Amino acid sequence: MKYLFTLLCCMVAILPLHAEEKKANEEFRGAHIRFEKSECDFGDIERKGEDKKCLFRFTNDGSEPLVVFAATTSCSCLKAEFSRKPIAVGESGEIRLTLESKKVEKGILRRIVQIRSNSVGGTEILTIKGIAKD
């Protein structure tokens, strides 16, 4: 019984320490990019229709300025635009993607864009999806 009581007391004493450690891990040291969304679903895409556009907004919730270096697309049908200016801590930015519908093949569409920055999280992935029809 003494052993069980001692074990229980130790567990109660450790819980606040674990909560502090978890809170410390949620604060990023260095730049950190946090997207509002990571996927854009265009639904039905007319291959002979207008280009489709999607806006991905993000915030630097880290502790240093964030710089987006590159946005690498998985096909020539997808174009990415973004500012190369540093994003201050707490500020927001955006990445604009344009899907050239005339360049996609008929069928299910799933394309990715790799976002490279100085974020502590490393490379982020954005996804575009839809169904291309004639």
Q: Tens digit of pLDDT for each residue in 7-18?
A: 444 454 555 554
Tokens of residue 58, six digits = 């993000």
Question: How far is the C-alpha of 41 from the C-alpha of 39, rounded, in Å?
Answer: 7
- Please classify residue 5 by burial: count the beta carbons closer than 10 Å to its beta carbon, then call 0-12 exposed, 13-18 middle and 19+ buried: exposed
Q: Tens digit of pLDDT for each residue in 11-44?
A: 545 555 544 444 444 567 999 999 999 999 999 9
Q: Tens digit of pLDDT for each residue in 58-102?
A: 999 999 999 999 999 999 999 999 999 999 999 999 999 999 999
Question: How far is the C-alpha of 111 from the C-alpha of 89, rounded, in Å?
Answer: 30
Q: Where are the domains of the chain?
A: 33-133
Question: How far is the C-alpha of 109 from the C-alpha of 77, rounded, in Å?
Answer: 11
Q: What is the DSSP letter of 48?
A: T
Instruction: Using DSSP, state whether 70 is helix, strand or coil.
Output: strand
For every residue of 63-110, which 3-state class applies, written as one string?
CCCECEEEEEECCCCEEEEECCCCECCCCEEEEEEEECHHHCCCEEEE
**Tell me, what's the pLDDT at 40?**
97
33-133, what's its fold? Immunoglobulin-like (2.60.40)
Question: How far is the C-alpha of 49 from the C-alpha of 100, rounded, in Å?
Answer: 9
CA proximity to 71, closest of 132, 120, 131, 127 = 127
Question: How far is the C-alpha of 122 from the C-alpha of 31, rounded, in Å?
Answer: 10
- Res. 116: pLDDT tops 50: yes
